[in-house]
A and B are shown apart, each in its own frame.
Chain A
Amino acid sequence: MSAPEPTIGTRSSKGSPGSNTPEPAWRRYRRELGFLIFFVLILGTSFTLIAWNPVNDQVIEPFTAAIARAGGAVLNLIGQQTTMDGTIIRSSRFAVNIRNGCNGVEAMLIFFAAVLAFPATWRSRFLGVAFGFVAIQLVNLIRVVALFLTGVYLPRLFDSSHTVVWQTLVILAGVLLWILWASRFANAAPASPLGSDDSYRTRSA
């Protein structure tokens, strides 16, 4: 005798067989709640950590300066003749200071929190974090270069491009990477710490 198939459109009842007692909301949505609680906790903790002055000064600032050097090197490759001074990339026509919010760390931490909160093996999570670090920093490098060129050639569009366009694109890249990771790497994960797989049912429409 096989176990009944999960029914799409309903949630399983863990009550006694034949009982029509509805599950409490927290139990019906425990997977969503579990993921979101872990996600928000990891996100809040990591942002608290990077806001702490010693971490900001010893880790984030040098990391941001490295991004400025990488951005400046790419800009020099395409003939922009820039010089770097800490987190500042400067040419005769424009200068940009890479600060928190522009170094890709925020998008990385959001991605890392989503990877760590999602039910998956630790190996998948580690691969996700490594893969996300490289991919998001590549996207962010493109952002730094594109913003500098916007400042040089289309300065009127710099402010909108800086906040609205590129912040949205970098976060979108993080979300798409997470979907890709969850689809390709976390799919074959064993039972989740947030609840056993056989209790899974989808929400009613």
Chain B
Amino acid sequence: MLPAVVFWILITPFYNRFLSLAGEKLTRGTEFPAVTRLDLQDAHFLFVTRSDVSGKDGFVYKFRLTDVHFNLILTVALFLAIPAVDSSRRAENLGWALLISVLFHLLVLFFVVKFVYSTQLGSWSNAHYGAFAQNFWGFGKHLLDLPFKLALPFILWVGFYFADFQRNLRRA
């Protein structure tokens, strides 16, 4: 667990920077005109701004970006802890797991931004998003940001090591 925590603490400043840039590109890629800006401040907080909506403090929403990806700790810990797997296969599987995690974090970030736009901006949200869209983005954010974010390390671990786990059970 400790190496996983150290790994996560070391990469967090760079990873937050990457997620804010990639998340902004992803969000702006789905907008016409492109109006979203995602600014990282204090190393951990993401400020969402729209050039066509003036927020009270210059932004429309802020949240702790670091909370999106703390599941990396558990992913790395579980993949490093699996016994009797040769190091090259362990490294390859961990690499794939981290890649899938990055894509998942970008998806969570995208859903958080759309959730903010569709439900958190009061009359602006109601004017621009219908009931179905509000429920879609809200429910999608709920599912991704809670159960699937928490379960992702386990899902990845099972996906890569289920056969090994069952084989070990049979040997026991």
CB distance from A39 to the nearest CB of B (A): 7
Residues of A within 8 A of B89 (CB): 205
Known A-B contacts A39-B155, A183-B169, A205-B86; A164 and B146 likewise in contact (beta carbons under 8 Å): no
In the complex, A116→B60 CA distance in Å? 42
What 1/0 flags go to B38-79 for Cβ under 8 Å of A?
000000000000000000000000001011001101100110
Contact B139 A31 (CB under 8 A): no
B148 lies within 8 A of A172 (CB): no
- Chain B contacts of A123 at CB under 8 A? none
- B70: nearest residue on chain A (CB-CB)? A164
Interface flag for B162 (CB, 8 Å)? yes
Q: B172 at interface (Cβ–Cβ under 8 A)?
A: yes
Looking at A77-85, A107-115, A143-151, the stretch in contact with chain B turns out to be: A107-115
Task: Give Cα A15–Cα B151 distance, bound, in whole angstroms.
Answer: 36
Mark the stretch among A17-25, A40-48, A62-70 that contacts chain B.
A40-48
Chain A residues with Cβ under 8 A from B146's Cβ?
47, 100-101, 106
Q: A43-B148, A106-B150 are in contact. Are A168 and B73 (CB under 8 A)?
A: yes
User: Could you say which residues of chain A place their CB within 8 Å of the CB of B163?
Assistant: 31-32, 201-203
Main secondary structure of the interface of A (DSSP, over half): helix
A48 to B169, CA, bound (A): 33
Q: Which residues of B contact A100 (CB under 8 A)?
A: 146
What 0/1 readout, one digit per residue, does chain A (163-205) give for beta carbons within 8 Å of chain B? 1100110011011001100110011000000000000111101
A154 at the interface (CB under 8 A from B): no
Instruction: Tell me the bound Cα distance from A90 to B2 in angstroms.
Output: 33
- The smallest beta-carbon distance between A191 and chain B, in angstroms, is 13
Residue in A8, A39, A205 whose beta carbon sits within 8 Å of that of B158 in the complex: A39
Apart from A32-B158, A48-B139, A171-B150, what are 11 other A-B pairs with CB-CB below 8 Å? A8-B167, A39-B151, A47-B147, A100-B146, A101-B146, A114-B154, A164-B66, A164-B73, A168-B73, A175-B153, A205-B86
Query: Which 3 A-B pairs have CB atoms at the shortest separation, nearest pair first?
Result: A202-B163, A32-B162, A164-B70
- Interface positions of A (Cβ within 8 A of B): 8, 31-32, 35-36, 39-40, 43-44, 47-48, 51, 100-101, 106-107, 109-110, 113-114, 159, 163-164, 167-168, 171-172, 174-175, 178-179, 182-183, 186-187, 200-203, 205
